Structure 1
Amino acid sequence: MPQLLPERKKLPVPDNGDFSLPQIFASIGGGLAGAAVFAVLTKGTSAAVLFAFLAPLPILIVALGFGLRHGATSALIATGLLSIWPNPIVGVIYAFLVAVPALAAAYVAAGAPWRGRELVTSHAPAWAILAAGGVVATAVSIAVTIAAIRFGGLDEALNPLRARAFIAIEDLVRTQELGEKLDPSQLSALVVFAFPATLAALTLLSQALNLWGAGLLARASDALSRPWPDIAQEFVLPRAVAGLFLIAGAVAFVGDLAGEIGLVFAETLGLALAMQGLAVVHALLRGTRVGGVTLTVIYIVIGLFAWPIVLFTVVGVVDAVFSFRSRKGAAQARRG
């Protein structure tokens, strides 16, 4: 009878605190890649902007696959390189809109380890997005405040952008023969006022998608320190987020600097709540025959038109009150 061979054990993930040669190379490579991806923005083309959407990915891959310390090293390398070229302002923008939010999300996704224990034991996906969103919204709000103080007011700070937006919208109205349907002056003021908040929301969307992608890559290489979460069930934001979203939305109507900051937080929290709304839809459609087709249609529509994401923000706010997934789980338990 042949002798049974001992079961092969999976090699443990390398100690994330070590600075071995592969980990050093990973840190340097992540920093170089992060700087190169973000530097493409200097070309100013639409393709460059889309490519720069992947800027957080190298840092997140290193942070989730090799450890937070190595992810932070990559972030420092990328920030330093971008501060040298193109200029220090680009380095600062990268640091506060890409590097710090990515590290915050990775830290929370890893359980927020602190002194030998994990501070986040449940709903890690939601807390990770909330951490990144908080950093992004705060950074954009501080930047807007500094610009308003430096130029003597929010309107003065936004005037250069408003002038460019006015020219672009006026050309659009003339070429499309829209006549008096649109007022270029009012529309440009509205677009420019919403620009910082939209930038914050798009930055959070980039962080969320790249966190998901980096997590998949780390899981494929058996480098994740925690089991892969059931995002549809675990993406549950604290109920206070819905209240803060409504308050920030109300403040946005005040206008001026306070309204600008309110709009920044409203759009950022609104996007996080929209992700919760999508998680609710995923959970409720799970196991149904039309689930896959329905979700595909939903994401195609959101990708084409963008504005339907607002509907899922509403779902996220309502879910914060009624907890649809918990109710579904309780109903299934009773039937079982």
Structure 2
Amino acid sequence: MRGSPLLIGLGAGATSALLYAAAASGSPLALLLLYAAPLPILIAAAGWRHLAGLVATVFGAACLAVVVGPKTALYFTIAVGLPSWWLAYLALLARTGEGGVVEWYPPGRLVIWCAAIGALLVAASIPLVATSLEEYRAALRELFTKAFEARGGTPGLVPDADAKPLIELMTALAPSMAAGFWTASSLFNLWLAARIVRASGRLVRPWPDLRRIAFPNKAFIGLFGGFAGSLLPDLAGLVAELFAGTFLMAFALLGLAVVHVVTQATPARGLILVAVYGMLVLQPWILLFLAGLGVAEQIFGVRRRFGGPPGGPPATATANLP
């Protein structure tokens, strides 16, 4: 995979802008394309340094400004371009420690950044919809009501069933779920981009042991502060809920890392992991259990009992810094 950062950035920006613009159709497939929009920028920034990511962001926004409009270009820059560039920049950040050993930016901190950005982006979209909590929920309620009416009723309910309770539940959970899904999709895109760049031979940092990710102690602030702040009135409580949702997702990932470590000496490890990942797809409530396991790891260090303390990525003696 050769090419100059400028050309790679131009191509990545055009591709990312096309994926972002495709979401305008409103179909489920288009929504998936929207969440895939950061991937080209992440690949460009991870493989050709952050300059290529900046070029991709600027060029993608310019394409959208010309073809769609300046407002869409602004949304693309804030929601897709800059977060993707920043995450890739951090992923390649390194410093020289004692003995000339290069210390790379810890993967656990990247997870925390994804959680914080996910909450902030959804919070930033709230003023575009309403100026109060009631107005915001009313807008969501109307959106879900129209969606159910367009599909001819509520799937899974008997014909005469009242869809109102389900709509109210979705109205209450949708913001936090959207922020949590953004966090999960960002982490997946970052992982996939790194794998693609690694396969091309352009990944300058060694691949970290993701089973050993560790969060800074202040990560608790995002989780418990979010839950405590959700008791606040009006939009302040809603914004706190967003942080609670995204940090819950982050701690669930930490809990999943614990599962990988504690089962490594178990003969039925493969079966256990398949069951856990299968339940994540079929029964998403297991995220609560995994998040609790992640909190236990943060407090008690569960993994230390199963093969050494948690650590960061392996170090190398040389590296090309971004």
- TM above 0.5, yes or no, is yes
In structure 1, distance between residues paired with 2:261 and 2:104 = 17
* Pair 1:174–1:215, CA change in 2 (3 A): closer
Q: Which AA in structure 2 matches 1:231? A: L
In structure 2, distance between residues paired with 1:123 and 1:290 = 34
**Residue aligning to 2:180:** 201
Select 1:55's aligned residue among 21, 37, 48: 37
Select 2:157's aligned residue among 165, 176, 182: 176
Larger radius of gyration: 1
- Counting matched residue pairs gives 303
SS at match of 1:121: strand
Q: Which AA in structure 2 matches 1:326? A: R
Please report the TM-score for the alignment, with normalisation by the length of structure 2: 0.84
What value does the CA root-mean-square deviation take over the aligned residues? 2.8
- Any idea what the Cα deviations from partners look like across 1:174-223, whole Å, max 9, x if unmatched? 9822766x660x54344224322222111111110011111111111121
Query: Percent identity between the aligned chains?
Result: 27
Instruction: Please say if residues 82 and 90 of structure 1, whose CA atoms lie closer than 8 Å, have aligned partners that are also in contact.
Output: yes
Select 1:164's aligned residue among 126, 143, 146: 143
Q: Which AA in structure 1 matches 2:57? A: A
Select 2:53's aligned residue among 67, 71, 74: 71
* Pair 1:46–1:330, CA change in 2 (3 A): closer
1:173 is displaced (CA, Å) by: 5.1
SS at match of 1:70: helix
**Residue aligning to 2:120:** 138
Please report the TM-score for the alignment, with normalisation by the length of structure 1: 0.81
- Any idea what the Cα deviations from partners look like across 1:258-292, whole Å, max 9, x if unmatched? 11101111111111111111111112222432222
SS at match of 1:289: coil
- Any idea what the Cα deviations from partners look like across 1:31-71, whole Å, max 9, x if unmatched? 11111112210111111112322111101111111101111
Select 1:276's aligned residue among 241, 254, 277: 254
**Could you list the runs of 5+ residues in structure 1 that have no partner in the other structure?**
1-12, 15-20, 332-336
**Could you list the runs of 5+ residues in structure 2 that have no partner in the other structure?**
310-322
Higher relative contact order (CA 8 A, sep 6+): 2
**Residue aligning to 1:94:** 76
Select 1:297's aligned residue among 250, 275, 281: 275
Select 1:320's aligned residue among 298, 304, 310: 298
1:75 is displaced (CA, Å) by: 1.4
**Residue aligning to 1:264:** 242
**Residue aligning to 1:218:** 197
1:310 is displaced (CA, Å) by: 1.9
* Pair 1:192–1:83, CA change in 2 (3 A): farther
* Pair 1:195–1:90, CA change in 2 (3 A): farther
